[in-house]
């Protein structure tokens, strides 16, 4: 009969963990065995766990029980605290979000208070003022040249017409003197008189150089016309830039760079225009002295006054005609309304315009692509 004894549990603070036997069940431990060897690791937890297990298992002196399977070693609190947490699995990449629609937020901006626009507006005003000054001087000078050219042309035409007419009469009388029974003395006197007149009038015309003066005025008028057209072209180039809406919702720096290219071209061309104007003014003062300018300025004012009176009279006549047309249209529409028929609009000004008065803008037509 075997006697089994159970050893009391030693104090865990003082009792070292015994090492399990190599061949079988656990054997009682001695004091020498409780001392840790130099080669053993004092922090080895496996021995401590085995010793605690062996204390709780009853032992027999005769028949040792089979060694139980070692249980998994529980992790100490220090190891659990010091062990790093396992890295989390990488999250799957999120699906790309749809691109948001572009929303343009219109911020209230004073487009015409920007420095770039102020610079542009000042330069544009300066160029337009310079063009108008040159254009006005050219127009006034050309107007006086036109009046003098017209007088010279009328004078030369009268001289040449009289010469042609009297020369034809002299030839006619010489050819028909026998038919009209005109004496030779009378024919001779008439022929001599006509010849004298022709010689006299042509000499006077040559003396005053009417033909040369008219030719020089004509050349100068052509030069003024060319300069006038150049200035008109400059105005056409600057015309679209006068629209302030071009500066709305645009990059002011980029717009100012575009304007700088045009301004540089205008400045370079302006120097040429000034030189041309100087040359033309010199030629104009040679042809038109102070007395001639005063005379033709008065003639110009008289003609302008007469033209304005005539234009006003014709404008009043047009207004009266329009009123009569409106009354007739209104009467016609009232008559149609009495018989329950659709009326027509009385605004039909285009229906009474002449062919040269009817103007159409091709840009207003819808072009089908």
Residues 123-168: tens digit of each pLDDT: 999 999 999 999 999 999 999 999 999 999 999 999 999 999 999 9
3-state secondary structure of 57: coil
Asked whether the CA dihedral 129, 130, 131, 133 is positive or negative, the reply is positive
* Averaged pLDDT for residues 316-340: 86
Give the highest mean pLDDT range of 48-57, 60-69, 215-224: 215-224
Give the highest mean pLDDT range of 1-15, 86-100, 139-153: 139-153
- CB count within 10 Å of CB 26 equals 20
pLDDT at 29 exceeding the cut of 90? no
* Averaged pLDDT for residues 239-260: 90
Tell me the pLDDT tens digit for each residue of 182-227. 888 999 999 999 999 999 999 999 999 999 999 999 999 999 999 9
What is the Cα Rg of the chain in Å? 61
pTM of the model: 0.60
- CB count within 10 Å of CB 68 equals 11
Give the span between the Cα atoms of 36 and 18, in whole angstroms.
9
Helix axes 115-175, 210-238, angle to 10 degrees: 150
How many CA atoms does the CB half-sphere of 133 hold within 13 Å?
10
User: Structure tokens of 64?
Assistant: 């040792």
């Amino acid at each position: 009969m075997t006697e089994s004894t159970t050893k009391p549990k030693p104090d865990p603070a003082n009792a070292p963990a015994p090492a399990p036997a190599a061949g079988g069940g656990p054997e009682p431990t001695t004091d020498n065995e409780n001392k840790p060897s130099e080669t053993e690791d004092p922090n080895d937890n496996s021995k401590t766990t085995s010793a605690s297990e062996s204390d709780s298992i009853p032992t027999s002196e005769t028949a040792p029980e089979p060694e139980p399977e070692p249980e998994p070693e529980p992790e100490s609190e220090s190891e659990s605290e010091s062990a790093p947490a396992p890295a989390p699995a990488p999250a799957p990449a999120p699906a790309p979000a749809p691109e948001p629609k572009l929303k343009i937020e219109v911020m209230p901006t004073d487009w015409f208070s920007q420095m770039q626009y102020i610079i542009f507006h000042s330069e544009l005003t300066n160029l337009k003022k310079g063009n108008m000054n040159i254009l006005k001087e050219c127009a006034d000078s050309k107007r006086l040249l036109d009046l003098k050219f017209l007088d010279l042309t009328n004078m030369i035409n009268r001289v040449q017409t009289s010469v042609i007419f009297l020369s034809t009469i002299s030839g006619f009388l010489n050819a028909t003197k026998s038919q009209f029974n005109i004496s030779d003395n009378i024919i001779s006197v008439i022929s001599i008189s006509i010849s004298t007149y022709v010689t006299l009038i042509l000499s006077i015309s040559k003396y005053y150089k009417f033909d040369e003066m008219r030719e020089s005025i004509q050349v100068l008028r052509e030069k003024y016309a060319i300069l006038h057209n150049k200035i008109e072209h400059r105005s056409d180039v600057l015309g679209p830039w006068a629209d302030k809406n071009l500066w709305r919702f645009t990059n002011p720096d980029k717009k100012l760079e575009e304007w700088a290219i045009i301004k540089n071209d205008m400045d370079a061309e302006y120097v040429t225009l000034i030189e041309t104007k100087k040359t033309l003014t010199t030629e104009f003062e040679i042809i038109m002295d102070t007395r001639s300018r005063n005379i033709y300025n008065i003639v110009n004012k008289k003609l302008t006054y007469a033209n304005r009176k005539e234009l006003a009279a014709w404008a009043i006549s047009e207004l009266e005609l329009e009123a009569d047309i409106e009354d007739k249209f209104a009467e016609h529409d009232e008559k149609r309304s009495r018989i329950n028929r659709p009326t027509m609009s009385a605004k039909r000004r285009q229906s009474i315009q002449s062919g040269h008065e009817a103007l159409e803008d091709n840009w207003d037509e819808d072009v089908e692509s």
